Structure 1
Amino acid sequence: MTQPVTAVPAATAATYVFAVCRHADDDVLSRLPGISTAPVRTLPFEQLHAVVQDVPAAEADRQSWTERLSDPDELERCVRAHHQIVTAVATGGPAAPMALATLYSSEERARQALTADAARFHTVLDRVAGRLEWGVKVYVSSASTVTATDRTVAPAHVPTGPQTPGAGRAYLDRVRGTHRAREESRRAALQTAEETDAALRGLAVAARRLRLQDQQLDDCRRTQVLNGAYLVDESQSARFTQAVAAQRRRTGALIELSGPWVPYSFAGEDAAHGDH
């Protein structure tokens, strides 16, 4: 059931910021749930608008939010609500998304901080106007580099009986061969990642390499060798997705494409994070 929209008294309210934009429809925003019971609204500053929501000050300190976001269900709810509002803002024009849980102790404190960063917001909005973010991840299956010899282990003790001539050398040769095969597989995967990134950067106006993350699927671990974000002109989206498909066919690698997204990765490295 949707919670009724109720105002939070200004004297006891902190300000949560979802995004910054040049234009926003307050009627549309007010119908979105957000992360509290107060209405989502705009806060004007320096020919820009911050999309904000009042949050009870008692619930806005760092410890409260750490506890809140440590609950998987609550984290998912907040992420979905945050993304829903950012996406709604972006349908009306370029938007600079703020990080999850960007909180200021008051509306006046939020306005002061955002105003101080106004020049950067104008730059970001110019950069992302008419552009979308695509995510591309390249994986190599760890299982694909494991052969029977990988699972060969040295005996727990050295038998005292007669040994087959050359048995020790053969074992060491198998181990060295396994190590070489694994290293060659890794080099090939890294080369695929670099080639894919280079090919896609040629179609993007900006690109970022994000932190790598492994995934465990059933009993097979996938090792990520590329986690890239690409800012692409809307008019080039079809060419970009075709280029990803071409890389899959050419390399045979496991390449995942996600998006298009609001350009979260290109809102600026020095985005404000609030003052819990």
Structure 2
Amino acid sequence: MAGPPDDPPEGPLYVYGIVRRGFRPRPGLTGVGDAAVFAVPEGPLAALASATGSASEPPGAGGPPGEPAVGDASLQATADAHRRVVDAAAAAVCVLPTRLGTVHRDVQEVRRTLAARTDLYRRLLARLDGRLEWGVKAYAQDEEAVPVGAGPVADCAGEPTDGLARAAHHTLADVAECSCVYSPQDACPAGAPPGAAAACATSAYWTSPIARAPYPHGRNLLDSAYLVPREAAGAFAETVGGLAARSPALRIELTGPWAPYSFTEPGRLPGFSG
């Protein structure tokens, strides 16, 4: 395992996630702008970070530290680099992914942030240890099977409004430890103007941090994430397969496992205070 550089780079740092102190990124791991990834330790924690890259400033570098990136031509490349670093860490340890485009002014600011939030981050790491995120999306195979007037949105309770999608979500939520429902996004309509596909890809990414590409054609009825203990992954996947077999009106897609992107906010973890 590679240790941090003797002299951390000066200037802005892109931060990918928070881990327990002692973890070191694997040799050769690079992030945004192909910059080397290293750990910034502070107390019992460490942040996975890199220089912002020599080619150009990453999205968010010009804005307030810690704020997510905005739409940019390099968004997809930044997203891929962010996910690559988080996935590499999640293969070995529990990691709290930061939001896409999280940039701090320098290494001292990274350490101040870790110090100020030590208790919260420690409790989140303990709560999420041994758990992974799975994503499930459902699309209408047969529009006639979808109730008239049922829009592809989530209601205030965080559940899909369509009856078929709601039933599928409830079944999966019973197997998972907890869940998070996003507002589904439909595919770009046929005949959309040039550049619309890229806009849809951006929208998909922001709606669900684990999305990789524009939604396929079809009415999206469910875009949800489920927190599942590692040992229950097989049972969860079997449940998804059973739903797909019993629901010919829906096309159900399963992605994962991922780091717990959707569950690093305390409000999304039942029973988690603060």
Question: So what's the TM-score if we normalise by structure 2?
Answer: 0.70
From the superposition, tell whether residues 186 and 224 of structure 1 become closer, same or farther in structure 2 (CA, over 3 Å): same
Q: Distance in 2 between matches of 1:66 and 1:91?
A: 24
Q: CA RMSD in A?
A: 3.4
CA distance in 2: counterparts of 1:218 and 1:259, whole angstroms: 29
- What residue in structure 1 maps to residue 232 of structure 2? 236
Consecutive unaligned residues in structure 1, runs of 5 or more: 147-180, 271-276
Q: Give the 5 Å matches for 1:1-276.
A: 10=10, 13-23=11-21, 25-26=23-24, 28=26, 30-36=27-33, 38-55=35-52, 59=57, 60-62=61-63, 70-71=72-73, 74-141=74-141, 144-145=143-144, 183=148, 190-216=162-188, 221-252=217-248, 253-268=250-265
Query: What does the per-residue CA deviation read over 1:7-28, in whole Å, with 9 as the maximum and x for residues that have no partner?
Result: 7752xx1121111001554361
Deviation by residue 1:30-66 (Cα, 9 ceiling, x = unmatched): 5112114653211112301111112379933139x99
| Structure label with greater radius of gyration | 1
Inter-CA distance 81–184: structure 2 relative to 1 (3 Å threshold): closer
What letter corresponds to residue 227 of structure 2 in structure 1? L
CA 1:8–1:56: 2 relative to 1, 3 Å: farther
Post-superposition shift, 1:105?
1.1
SS at the partner of 2:184? Answer: coil
What is the distance in 2 between the residues matched to 1:9 and 1:243? 47
Q: What SS class does the counterpart of residue 232 from structure 1 fall into?
A: strand
Q: How far, CA to CA, are the matches of 2:34 and 2:232 in structure 1?
A: 40
Q: Distance in 2 between matches of 1:51 and 1:268?
A: 19
**8 Å CA contact retained: 2:69, 2:101:** no
Inter-CA distance 251–68: structure 2 relative to 1 (3 Å threshold): closer
The answer to whether the 8 Å contact 2:139/2:218 transfers is yes
Instruction: Name the SS for the 2:12 alignment partner.
Output: strand
Map Cα deviations across residues 217-262 of structure 1 (whole Å, 9 max, x no partner): 7689522221110000111111111111111122212111111111
- 2-side partners of 1:256 and 1:243: how far apart? 12
Q: Percent identity?
A: 26
With normalisation by structure 1, the TM-score equals 0.70
In structure 2, the CA distance between the partners of 1:103 and 1:199, relative to structure 1 (3 Å rule), is: same
Whether the 8 Å contact between 1:18 and 1:50 is mirrored in structure 2 is yes
Contact 1:216 1:222 (8 Å CA) reproduced: no
What letter matches 2:115 in structure 1? T
> Aligned equivalents of 1:55 and 1:234: distance in 2?
33
Structure having the larger proportion of residues in helix? 1
Report the 3-state secondary structure (helix = DSSP H, G, I; strand = E; otherwise coil) of the residue aligned with 2:99.
coil
Structure of greater relative contact order (alpha carbons < 8 Å, 6+ residues apart): 1
SS at match of 1:183: coil
AA partner of residue 183 (structure 1):
V
Between the aligned partners of 1:243 and 1:27, the Cα distance in structure 2 is 34
Go from structure 1 to structure 2 and tell me whether the alpha carbon gap of 1:240 and 1:110 turns closer, same or farther (over 3 Å shift). same
Q: CA contact under 8 A between 2:21 and 2:42: conserved in structure 1? A: no
Distance in 2 (CA, whole Å) between partners of 1:262 and 1:66 is 18
